[in-house]
Amino acid sequence: MFTEAFMIRAFLAALFLCPLCALLGVFVTARRMSFFSETIAHGALTGVAIGIWMGMTELTIPVIGFGLLVAMAIIWLKENTELMTDTIMALLLAGSISLGIFILSLVKGGYLGQVHSYLFGDILAVEDRDVVVSGILFAVVAVSVFMNLNVLTLISAHEDLAHVCGVNVRRVNYLFVLALTVTVAVSIQLLGIMLVTSLVVIPPAAARNVSCNLRQQIVYSLLIGVIGGLGGIALSYHFNAPCGATIAMSCISLFLLTLVIRLFTRKRNANQPLLPS
Amino acid sequence: MTCECHSHNPDPGPVPAIEVSGLKVSFGGQPVLKGVNMKVPKGSVVALIGPNGSGKTTLLRCLLGLQEPAQGQVKIFGESNLQRVMPRIGYVPQKLALERSFILSVREFLSLRLSQSRNWFWHSRKWSDDALRSTMAEIGVEPLLDRPIAALSGGQLQRVLIAFSLLKAPDLLLLDEPTAGVDSPGEDTFYDLITKVHKHHGMTVVLVSHDLSMVYRHASWVYALNGTICCEGSPEEVMNAESLKQAYGIHVSPYQHHHHVH
Ligand SMILES: Nc1ncnc2c1ncn2[C@@H]1O[C@H](COP(=O)(O)OP(=O)(O)OP(=O)(O)O)[C@@H](O)[C@H]1O
Ligand SMILES: [Mg+2]
């Protein structure tokens, strides 16, 4: 399994992208933005469709571009209308998927394989360049998240308090959305449009089960992201299944494990924190 | 609605802590602040009173740059770029809705304020500063340090927010009903603490409260707000039936809360 070049590429890409999604996911879930990343991910379908339609060979650029467009549309609608956030998301989700399907229907045949691999994730689709892009993205985003952890945490706790502590709330929000959008768009190659959000949401949710403070949640989320990601790639190879599905399944298994740990230990000792802080 | 009682405003000194002129704010065409003027001298403890919906919270939010005024100007310590003076301000919001699922512990939350330049991720575990511990113990948050902040009761959260606002020894403290929901020993401790910290640091305090007896005992200057500052003066001057009627529109006994005092 480790001798084949495509497997090494897939493992490396998972090693970079899975913990990155899991790290951002801690703040995404804390800020109720899971649906936001879902909407951006589905916007990628339109990006793929536009890329195929225009005859591009490299689809990551239109995917990131359209993802950013959707993200900006969400923020603009949120700031300029009275609509509830989930209404806006549902609107854009339907809008971008329908646009994507419509554009694909204009293209003459031969694209189905490509669309399939973007929808469900494909380890064979990971190329050398994708590994390099993931590595750079991991370095840039993870380092900036850790360097700005205070600011991100304050904003997640309360935006007004963050403002009073001297944080430029608007700028940090935009940068966070940018980081999330690019990460989701790049991860689609590996995880697929349908399931990329699972890697943003499940590791922090599983970590939440066994943590009693934010530091623990971050550490466990990263760990669960790495284990789930690498395990999912191995399963994908073994069963010859799309790796989006196998990675999501291995993350959910870890979630169930943490849930059992939580139920078991809570029953025994309801007042004690599960793990020493 | 101007009033006869703003007779002898004390000399605000060269640079007042807060200077508000002609401040107007409206929401959806409905005016809330209709031209507020105030000058708060450095080092004073002033109270802001007024009926529900009279714009007290809105005024504080303007002072913090959280609310853009339609008209008028706000200067804090002579600076009109409010972002620049934010690090010198401590703020206790009226109510704070926290995301229930957010697992940030009280200790981590407080270290955010403490180590703005350092990363709480590496530093929140080391908490050896004794001076700090005694403040925490005094406010009653020490037993809460390892609880998730979203799981606290309303009064416990309020105590944590008070601790948060005092941590960096601010030059200006804006308190929006800070002791709402805090039990009465806690309230007494809080006002004693504010008095003590004020003596020590000489910071400026702006306090919004509906508890007129507390205002009477602790504030050196009172503003009665109802769209505009309709009355200001020392507590003795403002807290009389006549001027309270002007602010609240109905008869309010200035001493109705005194039975709480012991
Ligand atoms: N974001 C907002 N959007 C619309 N209206 C608002 C907003 N914030 C405040 N208002 C309105 O402005 C008025 C003043 O509100 P504000 O919160 O400043 O009152 P307050 O004096 O703090 O009252 P309380 O004593 O109840 O805290 C109210 O009528 C309120 O409905
Ligand atoms: Mg208020």
Task: Specify the 3-state DSSP secondary structure of A244.
Answer: helix
Pocket test for ligand 1, best of B32, B209, B248 (most atoms within 8 A of CB): B32
Q: How far is the CA of B100 from the centre of ligand 1 (A)?
A: 25
pLDDT at A116: 86
Residue predicted with more confidence, B206 or A1: B206
Residue predicted with more confidence, B14 or A75: A75
Please list every protein residue whose CB sits less than 6 Å from any atom of ligand 1. B 27, 32, 50, 52-58, 94
Average pLDDT, chain A: 89
Helices A169-191 and A60-80 cross at an angle (nearest 10°) of 140
Say how many Å lie between the first and final Cα of chain A, rounded. Answer: 39
| Closest-CA residue to B47 (of B59, B34, B64) | B59
CB of B146 within 8 Å of any CB in chain A? yes
Looking at the predicted structure, is the pLDDT value of residue B219 above 80? yes
Looking at the predicted structure, is the pLDDT value of residue B153 above 80? yes
| Closest-CA residue to B41 (of B178, B172, B218) | B172
Q: Quick check: A248 and A199 in contact, CB under 8 A? A: yes
Q: Rounded to an integer, what distance in angstroms lies between the CA atom of residue A19 and that of residue A228? A: 9
- Region class of B50: left (phi > 0), else alpha (psi between -120 and 50), else beta: left
Tokens matching residue B216: 């009477």
pLDDT at A155: 92
pLDDT at B28: 86
Average pLDDT, chain B: 81
Q: Quick check: B6 and B231 in contact, CB under 8 A? A: yes
Tokens matching residue A172: 């940090």
Closest partner CB to A158 (pick from B83, B96, B124): B96
User: Whose CA is closest to atom 10 on ligand 1?
Assistant: B27
pLDDT at B13: 54
Please give the C-alpha separations between residue A14 and each of A29, A218, A243, in angstroms, as whole numbers.
Answer: 21, 18, 10
A214/chain B closest Cα distance in angstroms: 5
Task: Write out chain B in H/E/C secondary structure.
Answer: CCCCCCCCCCCCCCCCCEEEEEEEEEECCEEEEEEEEEEECCCCEEEEECCCCCCHHHHHHHHCCCCCCCEEEEEECCECCHHHHHHHEEEECCCCCCCCCCCCEHHHHHHHHHCCCCCHHHHCCCCCCHHHHHHHHHHCCHHHCCCEHHHCCHHHHHHHHHHHHHCCCCCEEEEECCCCCCCHHHHHHHHHHHHHHHHHHCCEEEEECCCHHHHHHHCCEEEEEECEEEEEECHHHHCCHHHHHHHHCCCCCCCCCHHHCC
Looking at the predicted structure, is the pLDDT value of residue B127 above 60? no
Q: Cβ contacts (< 8 Å) between B123 and chain A: which residues?
A: none
Closest partner CB to B103 (pick from A147, A166, A208): A208
User: Whose CA is closest to atom 8 on ligand 1?
Assistant: B58
Q: Do A213 and B91 touch (CB under 8 A)?
A: no
pLDDT at B126: 58
B112/chain A closest Cα distance in angstroms: 6
Tokens matching residue A88: 């806006």
Looking at the predicted structure, is the pLDDT value of residue B129 above 80? no
In b/e form, how buried is each residue of B59-95, taking b as 16+ CB within 10 angstroms? bbbbbbbbbebeebebbbbeeeebeebbebbbbbbee
Q: What's this model's pTM, rounded to 2 decimal places?
A: 0.86
Segment B238-262 shows an average pLDDT of: 62
Q: Do B87 and A166 touch (CB under 8 A)?
A: yes
User: Whose CA is closest to atom 25 on ligand 1?
Assistant: B52
Q: Cβ contacts (< 8 Å) between B62 and chain A: which residues?
A: none
Q: How far is the CA of B228 from the centre of ligand 1 (A)?
A: 14
CB of B164 within 8 Å of any CB in chain A? yes
Q: How far is the CA of B97 from the centre of ligand 2 (A)?
A: 14
The letter for the amino acid at B6 is H
The letter for the amino acid at A8 is I
Name A237's Cβ contacts closer than 8 Å, sequence gap at least 6: A1, A7, A10, A123
- Region class of B233: left (phi > 0), else alpha (psi between -120 and 50), else beta: left
pLDDT at B132: 67
Give which of B57, B64, B103, B121 to mutate to test A binding, by max A Cβ within 10 Å. Answer: B103
- The residues whose Cβ lies within 5 A of ligand 2, an ion, are B 56-57, 94
Tokens matching residue A217: 């949640």
> Which residues partner with B46 through β-bridges?
B206, B221
Q: Quick check: B212 and B254 in contact, CB under 8 A? A: yes
Give me the tens of pLDDT residue by residue for chain A, a chain 277 residues long: 667 888 899 999 999 999 999 999 999 999 888 899 999 999 999 999 999 988 888 888 899 999 999 999 999 998 888 888 889 999 999 999 999 999 998 887 777 888 888 898 888 888 899 999 999 999 999 999 999 998 999 999 988 999 998 899 999 999 999 999 999 999 998 889 999 999 999 999 999 999 989 999 999 999 999 999 999 999 999 998 888 899 999 999 999 999 999 998 876 544 445 454 4
Q: Quick one: closest CA in A to B122, which residue?
A: A215
B108/chain A closest Cα distance in angstroms: 8
Q: Cβ contacts (< 8 Å) between A152 and chain B: which residues?
A: none
Q: Do A153 and B101 touch (CB under 8 A)?
A: no
pLDDT at A112: 80
A73/chain B closest Cα distance in angstroms: 24
pLDDT at B187: 85
> Which residues partner with A134 through β-bridges?
none
Looking at the predicted structure, is the pLDDT value of residue B61 above 60? yes
| Closest-CA residue to B55 (of B31, B29, B83) | B31
Looking at the predicted structure, is the pLDDT value of residue B135 above 80? no
pLDDT at A198: 93
Q: Quick check: B25 and B62 in contact, CB under 8 A? A: yes
| Closest-CA residue to A184 (of A172, A174, A198, A173) | A198
Q: Cβ contacts (< 8 Å) between A165 and chain B: which residues?
A: 86-87, 112-113, 116
Residue predicted with more confidence, A216 or B231: A216
Tokens matching residue B184: 């009465």
Write the ipTM.
0.83
Say how many Å lie between the first and final Cα of chain B, rounded. Answer: 36
Tokens matching residue B143: 């037993």
CB atoms inside a 10 Å sphere around CB A174: 14
| Closest-CA residue to A89 (of A144, A158, A42) | A42
Q: How far is the CA of B30 from the centre of ligand 1 (A)?
A: 11
Q: Rounded to an integer, what distance in angstroms lies between the CA atom of residue B230 and that of residue B160? A: 34
